[in-house]
């Protein structure tokens, strides 16, 4: 291939013909000091908060601190090329990022520049990174479910489209895994996904991208990366950029899912910026407006009213706690902003309960409104039952004699815990979830040894899809359980149980 220089020449010629000279009016300032991703600028008296400024070297920045005699600018780019005394000009525009379908399947930095080596992103559409969230009259209550494909979550802490559900837990408790599973499960739902990686190791992010690619989830996902080596300003801006990209779908009647992984690192980046700007530190040295930093971000996730197209942004912010300390500053802030939290506990994780969700303190404030009717019926009291089981279990460990009713409750609990375990990257269809949870909560597994629950589940689902596909079809159509359908499911489970036990006994005899 060779470049066609004639074509280029004609484009340039046209541009020159159209070029008109005019006087360039600009407000300027001079760099007083620069370092650690921020610059102090003298002058720029007309600049507005949040306005983009441009350094003489071409690097862009954001007016962050307006002081009496100087302006604090956060630098979005390479600050090592900026010198003291350099001219800075205001641009009169706000920071914006490219948006649209062209971004799907791409890995970009928080300014929308591609990082995946797949060439430029050709889109003329842009959206401002910081916008004010939709008001009360522009919204409607959350009512459509966003299926994560994870039994424990869809049954006990359901997430609706437009909801903000926090995933909180210590390091290495499977927080990212839940978010990735939720993304993978959106394959057929038409929900566009945005994974915002903030302050993470680049190798971890590469692993996540690879996993999304393998499962085909990259077709509808954009990954926004501000890794651990990215300067603090980019880490701070990343979640807002991701939301701006998702808003393009929401405001056009579509649905989007944004994962912020994780907001504690963003808070740390914001603290770094604020301290460098000499803003007064508050609790845990965070600036006073760190709550606003998160609330204005998460308020942008919502379900728009039907008049505005009914689009939505669902967000899954992730917060990492230290030693299970949920009452630290940032966790309490984000817990109070979001519509519920999924709390992951290390001891459950190490005991092999994955996802390691603590049913007792995990909640979804949207609740049953975000579930299909069938799920609401089968999983109604599941969360409370499981929480009660955990208490009972602790009590039973004391070795006291238990009455048969308590023992039965314990047995049911052990089996439900087994049933809610789920492998990573294996999201389950909501119909299958309803079937297995129905079997569990209605006591069909009570006689089964706990170590065979997983096997039972696999075989049962296979049996249902192979031999009883009409039941699955009916359930998928109705999305509700009426008496007739319930009877059919009961009969199917009984039939399968006879087979399953028969096979087991046969296997035992032959051994």
> Can residue 8 be called a binding residue for other proteins (CB under 8 A)?
yes
508 binds other proteins (CB under 8 A): no
The residues assigned a catalytic role are 365
Name, in order, each residue with C-beta under 8 angstroms of 182's C-beta and a sequence gap of 6 or more: 146, 148, 149, 150, 159, 257, 259, 316, 427
Nearest to 189 by CA among 151, 211, 221: 221
CB of 219 to other proteins, least distance (A): 22
Query: Stretches 21-29, 126-134, 237-245, 362-370: which one binds other proteins (CB under 8 A)?
Result: 21-29
By CB under 8 A, tell whether 16 contacts other proteins: yes
Cis peptide before 262 (omega within 30 of 0): yes
**How near is the Cβ of 54 to other proteins at its closest, in Å?**
12
Q: CA 111 from chain center: how many Å?
A: 19
One residue of 34, 37, 38, 43 binding other proteins per CB under 8 A: 43
Residue owning tokens 């920071």: 95
Candidates 41-49, 129-137, 188-196, 312-320: pick the segment binding other proteins (CB under 8 A): 41-49
Nearest distance from C-beta of residue 19 to other proteins, angstroms: 5
The span of 17-25, 184-192, 309-317, 437-445 binding other proteins (CB under 8 A) equals 17-25
Estimate to the nearest angstrom the gap between the alpha carbon of 73 and the chain centroid: 30
Of residues 1 and 507, the one with the C-beta less far from other proteins? 1
- Asked whether position 69 contacts other proteins by CB under 8 A, the answer is yes
Query: In whole angstroms, how close is the CB of 453 to other proteins at the nearest point?
Result: 55
The three-point CA angle 51-260-164 to 5° equals: 100
Q: Given the complex with other proteins, which of 46 and 381 has the nearer CB atom?
A: 46
100 binds other proteins (CB under 8 A): no
Q: Which CB atom, from 58 or from 309, has the smaller least distance to other proteins?
A: 58
Note whether 362 and 148 are within 8 A (CB): no
Spatial separation of the C-alpha atoms in residues 221 and 205, rounded to whole Å: 14
Task: Determine, following the binding rule CB under 8 A, whether residue 40 of this chain makes contact with other proteins.
Answer: yes
Q: Which is nearer to other proteins, 87 or 299 (CB)?
A: 87
Q: How far is the CB of 119 from other proteins (least distance, A)?
A: 9
Rank residues 120 and 399 by Cβ distance to other proteins and give the closer one: 120
Q: Cβ 295 to other proteins, closest distance in Å?
A: 32
Contacting other proteins within 103-132 (CB under 8 A)? 120, 122
Secondary structure letter of residue 249 according to DSSP: H
Out of 17, 23, 405, 507, point to the residue binding other proteins (CB under 8 A): 23
Could you give the C-alpha distances from 507 to 236, 242, 446, 501, 504, in angstroms and in order? 59, 54, 21, 10, 5
* N residues, the chain: 511
What is the nearest approach in angstroms of other proteins to the Cβ of residue 89?
8
- 3-state secondary structure string across 102-148: HHCCCEECCCCCECCCCCCCCCCCEEECCCCCCCHHHECCCCCECCC
> Measured between alpha carbons, how far is 173 from 405 in angstroms, rounded to an integer?
34
Size of the site for other proteins (CB under 8 A): 34
Cβ-based nearer residue to other proteins, 9 or 491:
9
26 touches other proteins (CB under 8 A): yes
| Choices 1-9, 156-164, 185-193, 339-347 (CB under 8 A): range interacting with other proteins | 1-9
Both structure tokens of 255:
């649905």
Distance CA 438, CA 440 (A): 5
In the complex with other proteins, the residue whose CB is nearer, 14 or 506, is 14
67 binds other proteins (CB under 8 A): yes
Q: How far is the CB of 28 from other proteins (least distance, A)?
A: 5
Q: Specify whether the backbone of 33 is left (phi greater than 0), alpha (psi in -120 to 50) or beta.
A: beta
Residue 137 burial by CB count (10 A; 0-12/13-18/19+): exposed, middle or buried? exposed
Could you tell me the two tokens for 26? 């600009």
Residues 74-93 interacting with other proteins (rule: CB under 8 A): 89
List contacts with other proteins (CB under 8 A).
Answer: 1-4, 7-8, 11-12, 14-16, 19, 21, 23-29, 32, 40, 42-46, 67-70, 89, 120, 122
């Amino acid at each position: 291939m060779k470049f066609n220089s004639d074509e280029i020449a004609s484009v340039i010629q046209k541009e020159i013909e159209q070029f008109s000279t005019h006087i360039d009016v600009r407000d300027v300032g001079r760099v007083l000091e620069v370092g650690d991703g921020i610059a102090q600028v003298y002058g720029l008296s007309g600049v507005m908060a949040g306005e983009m400024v441009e350094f003489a070297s071409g690097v862009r920045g954001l007016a962050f601190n307006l002081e009496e005699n100087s302006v604090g600018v956060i630098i979005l780019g390479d600050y090592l090329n900026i010198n003291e005394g350099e001219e800075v000009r205001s641009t009169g525009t706000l920071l914006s990022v490219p948006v649209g379908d062209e971004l799907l399947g791409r890995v970009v930095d928080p300014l929308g520049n591609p990082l995946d080596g797949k060439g430029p992103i050709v889109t003329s559409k842009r959206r401002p990174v910081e916008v004010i969230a939709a008001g009360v009259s522009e919204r409607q209550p959350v009512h459509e479910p966003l299926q994560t494909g994870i039994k424990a979550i869809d049954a006990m802490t359901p997430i609706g489209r437009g909801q903000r559900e926090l995933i909180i837990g210590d390091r290495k408790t499977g927080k990212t895994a839940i978010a990735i599973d939720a993304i993978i499960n959106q394959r057929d739902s038409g929900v566009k996904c945005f994974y915002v990686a903030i302050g993470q190791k680049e190798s971890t992010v590469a692993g996540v991208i690879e996993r999304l690619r393998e499962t085909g989830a990259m077709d509808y996902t954009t990954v926004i990366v501000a890794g651990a080596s990215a300067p603090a300003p980019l880490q701070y801006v990343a979640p807002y950029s991701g939301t701006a990209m998702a808003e393009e779908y929401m405001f056009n009647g579509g649905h989007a899912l944004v994962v912020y992984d994780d907001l504690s690192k963003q808070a740390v980046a914001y603290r770094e910026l604020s301290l460098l700007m000499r803003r007064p530190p508050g609790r845990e040295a965070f600036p006073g407006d760190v709550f606003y930093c998160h609330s204005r971000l998460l308020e942008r996730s919502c379900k728009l009213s039907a008049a505005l197209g009914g689009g939505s942004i669902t967000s899954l912010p992730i917060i990492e706690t230290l030693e299970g300390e949920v009452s630290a500053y940032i966790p309490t802030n984000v817990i109070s902003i979001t519509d519920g939290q999924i709390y992951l506990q290390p001891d459950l994780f190490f005991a092999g309960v994955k996802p390691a969700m603590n049913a007792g303190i995990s909640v979804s404030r949207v609740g049953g409104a975000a579930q299909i009717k069938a799920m609401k019926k089968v999983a109604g009291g599941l969360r409370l039952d499981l929480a009660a089981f955990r208490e009972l279990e602790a009590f039973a460990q004391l070795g006291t004699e238990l009455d048969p009713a308590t023992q039965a409750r314990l047995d049911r609990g052990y089996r439900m815990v087994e049933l809610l375990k789920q492998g990573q990257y294996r999201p389950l269809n909501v119909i299958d979830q309803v079937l297995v949870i129905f079997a569990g909560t209605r006591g069909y597994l009570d006689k089964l040894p706990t170590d065979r629950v997983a096997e039972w589940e696999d075989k049962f689902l296979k049996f249902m899809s192979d031999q009883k596909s009409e039941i699955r079809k009916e359930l998928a159509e109705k999305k509700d359980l009426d008496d007739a359908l319930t009877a059919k499911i009961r009969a199917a489970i009984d039939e399968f149980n006879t087979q399953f036990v028969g096979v087991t006994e046969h296997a035992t005899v032959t051994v």
